[in-house]
Chains A and B, each alone.
Chain A
C-alpha cells in the first residue's frame, strides 16, 4: 500500500519551499527546538491570562482546558486569499439568497433544483419563520465557511455554518499572542491585520437594524451563560464591540419592543447577536421549557421590531444534504459559475449512493446531515470493523440522515509537536460578515490543526489545536 501524497503548504514534494513560506522556512531552520518549547509554554501562560478556555461537551474533566495552540503560523499568499475571498463572498451571498427564498416563495423548490421534501420535511426548516422579513434580507450575518485544501490550487468547502459559527475569538487571540511571542517575525512579513473584526462585526449588525431605528442602533450579545462552552467568546466579542453581554433574564418584551434591564432602567435593544440556539430562544414560540431565552422575542421579530443575528431558521443552510446543492444554488440565484468547489458527496437518501456508501465504508467519511463539530461522524479508514458495522446499521435505519464523502487528503503545515517540527493536517474557517448592504471579511480566519500524526480530524472537541493564519499583503 502506498502512502497517499499530501500537499504540504510549505515544502513541495521535490523539497522546494513555496514562496509564501520562504522567510518562515528560514526561521524554522535557524530556531533551536528548545526555543519552540519555551515559546509554547509562554503562549500557554498568555492564554491562561487572557482567560481563553474551551469546554468540551460530554467529556467531563477540566472545564478550563486550553485548546492546544501551535506557535508556527500558517501562511497564505495574497493571491490565494484574493481567490478565496471572491469565492466566499459568492457563496455567502448565495446562502443568504437561499434562506430568504426558502422562507418566502420557494422558487428553488418550484424549479425542482432542490427537492421539496428535503427542505419542507427537514427539522432545520422552521415553519415559524415562513414569511418573516429580516432587515436587509440577511439570515446569516456571520458565516463560518469551513475549507480544506488538497493541492496548490485545490480548495474545497467542507461545510457551511450559517447557524452560530464560533471560533473567531481564537483567530483574534492567536494573533495577539503571536505578536507578543514573535515581534521580529512580524517585521519580516507583511501580515494583514485581523483586529478590525470587532469593528466590522458591530458595523454589520448596526446596518441590519430594524427599519424604524433612527440613529445608532443598540446592539447586545445574548449568551446562554457562563456554563456554555463558548462563553469566553461571547464576553470577548462584547468587549471587542463595546456592547452589552446579556442573558435571557436580562431581556424582556413589552409593547412591540425588546428591552434590557440596566442600572439606569430599561433600555430598548435593536439588534441581538444571539448565541442561543433557535429551539431555546423563545419559550413562547419554541421549547416551552427553555429558561435561556426571552418569552415573546419571536413575536417582536416577526413584527420586524428587532434584528436577530444570525436569523432564526438559518440552520437549513447547514444541513449536509442541502450543502450538496450549493453549487447549483450559485447558478440559480446569481447566474454565476461557483468559484469554490464542494467536496463530492454521496446522499444516502439516494438508493444507488446508499449501496455504494455501505460497500465502501472503509474509504469514506460519513456524517449526520444535522451534525456539527465532528460529533457523530465515522472516519472509515480510521474506524474498526466493529465501529463500521455499528455505523452501517445506523445508516440503514435512516439513510436520509447521512451523507458520505471521500476521505480528503487535507494539506499539511509545519507544526511544533513533541518530536520537533513536523507536517500536520489543517483546515480553515474564515468568517464572512453580511449586512445586505455590504460583505466584510478580515484577511484571516481560524486554522485548525490535527495534532496527532496522520489524523485528519481537526475539531477541538476531538483533540485538534489551532494556529495563527497569516495572509500576506502584496
Chain B
C-alpha cells in the first residue's frame, strides 16, 4: 500500500522569543515491510537541521533558531510503500541491546494493578498468545478517550483511570510485557485508517515485543490488532520520551499555541503499465 503523509507542526508565540531548540524524531527507517519512496523533513524558515542516529537507530534532527522569532513551523512530506507482515518487524536497524528493553522507565513502571493484569496472561500457550492476551485485556481495561491523559501520564495512572489514548495503551502493554520478562518497546508512527478499525488517530503509537523465534513483533493495544500495511513505523524507544516526534525547549516569555495538522492518505493503486 502506498501511504502519503503530510504533517505540519506550528508553534506560534504572542510575541517574539529569542531561542528555540528541538529534537525531531520524524524520519522513518526502512525495514522489510516498509520502503521510503520520498521523505522530506524541514523547517519552514529553511534553517538547516543536522541529524544523527540515536541509541535506538532513530534518525534525529536538531532544529535551532537563535534569533527573535514568533513562529516555528516543521513540515513533513512523505510517501511510503508498506506491506502486511502481521506485525513482524524484520530488517530494521537494531543497534540497541535487546536485554536492555527490559528496563523499567518512569512512564512504564508497573504497579500492583499492572502486575496483576500481566500475571493473568502467564498461562497462554506461547509468547504470541501472551501478547494477544495482554493486548485484549489492556484494551478492555483502558477505554479510548482523547484529552483525558497527557504525555507524562504513566501506565499505572492510565490503568487506574481506566481511559487514555494510544500512548497510554502502549505504555501499559510495555509495562506488563516487561513484567513478564519480555523485552518491549514503544513505537511512534502514522496510521492510515478508513478501513473500519475502531480507533483513528493519524499520528499513532503502539508497542513491539521481542519473541525469540520471530524477532520484534508489533502489537497495537489501542486497536487490539497487530500492525498491518496501514501502519507507518517512524521511531522507537523504551517509552514515549525517547520516541517522541518533538522534544523542545525555548527561551523567551510568551504564550505558545500549537497547531498540528496530519494528513495520512492511502494513495490509489498505481495503474499497471
Contacts and interface: CB of A to CB of B under 8 A. Distances in A.
B50 A256 contact: yes
Given A106-B97, A252-B66, A295 B21 contact: yes
Interface string B221-254: 0000000000000000010001000011100000
A139 to B, nearest CB: 15
Most buried by B among A121, A299, A300: A299
Given A106-B97, A120-B100, A255-B50, A131 B21 contact: no
Nearest to B242: A127
Contact of A283 (B50, B96, B242, B249): B249
A302 B52 CA distance: 7
B64 A127 contact: no
Contacts of A121: 102-104
A130 B102 contact: no
A130 B64 contact: no
Contacts of A303: 50, 52
B23 interface: yes
Residue among A106, A130, A285 with the highest chain B CB neighbour number at 10 A? A130
Interface in B64-123: 64, 66, 95-97, 99-100, 102-104
B55 A253 contact: no
Interface in B143-195: none
B48 interface: yes
A244 B217 CA distance: 51
A390 B268 CA distance: 69
Interface in A273-291: 283-285, 288
A154 interface: no
Interface string B242-273: 10000111000000000000000000000000
Interface in A241-267: 252-256
Given A253-B64, A254-B64, A255-B64, A299 B52 contact: yes
Contacts of B238: 127
Nearest to B61: A299
Given A128-B55, A130-B95, A296 B23 contact: yes
Contacts of A106: 97
Nearest to B104: A121
Contacts of A131: 53, 55, 95
B19 interface: yes
A295 B64 CA distance: 10
A96 B96 CA distance: 20
B59 to A, nearest CB: 12
Contacts of B50: 255-256, 303
B43 interface: no
A44 interface: no
Contacts of B104: 121
Interface centre among A106, A121, A254, A300 (most CB of B within 10 A): A254
Nearest to B47: A255
Nearest to A266: B66
B29 interface: no
Interface of B: 19, 21, 23, 48, 50, 52-55, 60, 62, 64, 66, 95-97, 99-100, 102-104, 238, 242, 247-249
